[in-house]
């Protein structure tokens, strides 16, 4: 997920105070006020949680195994819990927890493959050190492969690509190399070796053209 500073979210001062932890834990009045103000949103979030959790539990075992297979890397903590948290909570209360925030998603995208995408980012963060602009297209390719295996998509990129999703278009450019990787995965130490080699090929190609 892309983190933003709280002030960019248009959150009122009382929510701002809570998210930043600037309140007395013994002062129950602020917490009660917030709970009262969020009744409708909380009920909606709980319903969404039930939907996500049901779909995730159906595929969790396979998705985690596929992530390990496709990257040849392990999670330091493979336990996945589905929770309801305040928006932007990923920035403050859970700094040391690998937190994935998933809300409503676009038509054509399902929760299991979306969770796989975000968990792949967590796995990369735990095992490899790539810049986001390098990592993201390969994470997208992992999502595409898992989505096809789940039969959520009939083929890669079987949806309308949003205009802002430049990493998806970069993933499309790397699809041929990715399929070669899948066919010869035993020849690579892990996905990081493939990415480094493929990125080097891309740089050399651009240099030759220039």
Q: What is the mean pLDDT of residues 104-132?
A: 86
pLDDT greater than 90 at residue 108: no
Does residue 10 sit within a domain?
no
Does residue 8 sit within a domain?
no
Residue 184 pLDDT class (50, 70, 90 cuts): very high
pLDDT at 75: 85
Does residue 130 sit within a domain?
yes
C-alpha separations of 182 from 35, 161, 193 in Å: 49, 24, 13
Q: How many domains does the chain have?
A: 1
pLDDT in tens, 138-177: 999 999 999 999 999 999 999 888 889 999 999 999 999 9
Cα separation, 99 vs 112, whole angstroms = 16
Does residue 14 sit within a domain?
no
Does residue 29 sit within a domain?
no
pLDDT at 6: 34
Domain extent, residue 57, equals 38-209
Residue 40 pLDDT class (50, 70, 90 cuts): confident
For residue 126 the two structure tokens come to: 């735990």
Does residue 18 sit within a domain?
no
């Amino acid at each position: 997920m892309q983190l933003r500073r709280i002030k960019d979210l248009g959150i009122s001062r009382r929510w701002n105070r809570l998210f930043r932890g600037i309140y007395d834990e013994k002062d129950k009045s602020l917490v009660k006020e917030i709970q009262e103000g969020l009744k409708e949103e909380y009920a909606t979030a709980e319903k969404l949680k039930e939907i996500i959790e049901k779909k995730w539990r159906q595929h969790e075992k396979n998705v985690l195994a596929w992530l390990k297979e496709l990257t040849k890397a392990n999670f330091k903590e493979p336990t996945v819990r589905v929770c309801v948290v305040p928006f932007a909570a990923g920035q403050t209360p859970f700094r040391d927890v690998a937190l994935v925030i998933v809300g409503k998603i676009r038509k054509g995208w399902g929760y299991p493959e979306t969770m796989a995408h975000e968990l792949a980012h967590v796995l990369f963060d735990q095992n490899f050190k790539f810049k986001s602009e390098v990592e993201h297209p390969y994470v997208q390719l992992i999502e595409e492969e898992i989505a096809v295996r789940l039969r959520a998509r009939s083929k890669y990129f079987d949806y309308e690509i949003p205009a802002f999703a430049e990493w998806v278009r970069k993933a499309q450019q790397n699809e041929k190399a990715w399929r070669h990787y899948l066919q010869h995965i035993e020849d690579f130490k892990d996905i990081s070796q493939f990415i480094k080699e493929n990125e080097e090929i891309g740089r050399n190609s651009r240099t030759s053209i220039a």
